[in-house]
């Protein structure tokens, strides 16, 4: 099968998951093409047997960049089933509503969402998970993805259960798309900045430019956190959300991390449930 996965990843979590997904699809004999939505797109979607869309959950929605990518796609001549992959920092059911708008946009293009897969990955905003937790999340995703890929190839429908009034709630939370643009104009650079221009080069919307020797933040920020997360000098203040800033990549290979988990009570039950259900599924699959 020829499979296309179009995805957005702000700080690398979704990319990690999509890469693993693609690896498993390839191991099963499929030809997989990956397309980052911020890059130039000149493929013919009619050429693919199966299409997937990957994104990080942003305020219980898909980021605007993936919605506008889909809006620009041409309508398929015949209906085709598609799949969604998303990652989020917490395992709340409310995250399941993130695909509602995307699903209806895809339907207009004759792409019918039959399969949805969700993986919990460490936060890139709000607070920093410990490396120990990041390791556990990634280990879990790595074991669950092959099971999901198997079910996808068997065409087993997989829709995430939506909460009551999900469509309305998702609509309200989409204020983040507008709020991100507003907040983005209030990003500031600290004196620690060494003018490496890393942020300028990696911003997916080319929103950061050099003006009069300093950095200028325009009105197209999508709050993906790439600039501030990857800034080596932690020199970017993210406007009104600076208290929630997370800086620096996670070490996903650090199970022995002994740093104190300051947020161990946060959504404790939801995380416990996510890991318990995942471990049960992994155990069941390996017993088969």
Contact footprint for ligand FMN (CB under 6 A): 9-14, 56-60, 87-90, 95, 121, 123-125, 223-225
Q: Least distance (Å) from ligand FMN to the CB of residue 155?
A: 27
φ, ψ (nearest 5 deg) of residue 46: -65, -20
Q: Which is nearer to ligand FMN, 244 or 285 (CB)?
A: 244
Phi, psi for residue 28 in degrees, rounded to 5: -95, 15
The burial class, CB within 10 Å (0-12 / 13-18 / 19+), for 14 is buried
Is the CB of 76 or the CB of 143 nearer to ligand FMN? 143
For the CB of residue 202, give the shortest distance to ligand FMN in the complex, in Å.
12
- The CA distance from 119 to 203, in Å, is 24
What are the phi and psi torsion angles at 52 (to 5°)? -125, 160
Nearer to ligand FMN, 125 or 199 (CB): 125
Q: Of the two residues 32 and 227, which places its CB atom closer to ligand FMN in the complex?
A: 227
**Rounded to the nearest 5 degrees, what angle is found at the Cα of 232, between the Cα atoms of 228 and 236?**
30
State which residue, 58 or 136, has the beta carbon closest to ligand FMN: 58
Give me the least distance between CB of 36 and ligand FMN, in Å please.
Answer: 11
Residue 119 Cβ vs ligand FMN, minimum distance, rounded to whole Å: 8
121 touches 182 (CB < 8 A):
no
Nearest approach in angstroms of CB 29 to ligand FMN is 27
The two structure tokens encoding residue 158: 């997989």
Q: For tokens 């897969």, what's the residue?
A: 117
């Amino acid at each position: 099968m020829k499979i296309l996965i179009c995805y957005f990843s702000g700080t690398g979590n979704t990319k990690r998951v999509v890469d693993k997904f693609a690896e498993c699809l390839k191991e099963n004999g499929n030809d997989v093409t990956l397309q980052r939505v911020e890059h130039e797109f000149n493929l013919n979607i009619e050429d693919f047997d199966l299409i997937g869309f990957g994104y990080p959950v942003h305020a219980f929605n898909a980021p605007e960049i993936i919605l506008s990518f889909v809006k620009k796609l041409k309508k398929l001549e015949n209906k085709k089933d598609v799949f969604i992959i998303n990652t989020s920092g917490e395992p709340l059911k409310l995250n399941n509503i993130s695909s509602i708008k995307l699903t209806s946009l895809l339907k207009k293009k004759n792409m019918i969402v039959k399969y949805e897969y969700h993986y919990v990955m460490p936060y890139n905003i709000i607070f920093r998970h410990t490396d120990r937790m990041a390791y556990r999340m990634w280990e879990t995703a790595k074991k669950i993805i092959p099971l999901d890929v198997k079910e996808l190839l068997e065409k087993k429908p997989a829709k995430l259960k939506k909460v009551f009034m999900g469509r309305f709630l998702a609509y309200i939370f989409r204020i983040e798309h507008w709020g991100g643009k507003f907040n983005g104009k209030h990003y500031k650079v600290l004196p620690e900045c060494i003018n490496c221009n890393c942020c300028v080069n990696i911003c997916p919307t080319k929103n950061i430019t050099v003006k009069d020797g300093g950095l200028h933040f325009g009105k197209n920020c999508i709050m993906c956190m790439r600039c501030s997360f990857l800034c080596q000098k932690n020199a970017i203040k993210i406007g009104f959300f600076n208290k929630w800033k997370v800086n620096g990549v996670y070490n996903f290979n650090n199970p022995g991390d002994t740093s104190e988990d300051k947020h161990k009570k946060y959504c404790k039950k939801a995380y416990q449930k996510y890991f318990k259900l995942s471990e049960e599924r992994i155990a069941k699959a390996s017993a088969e």
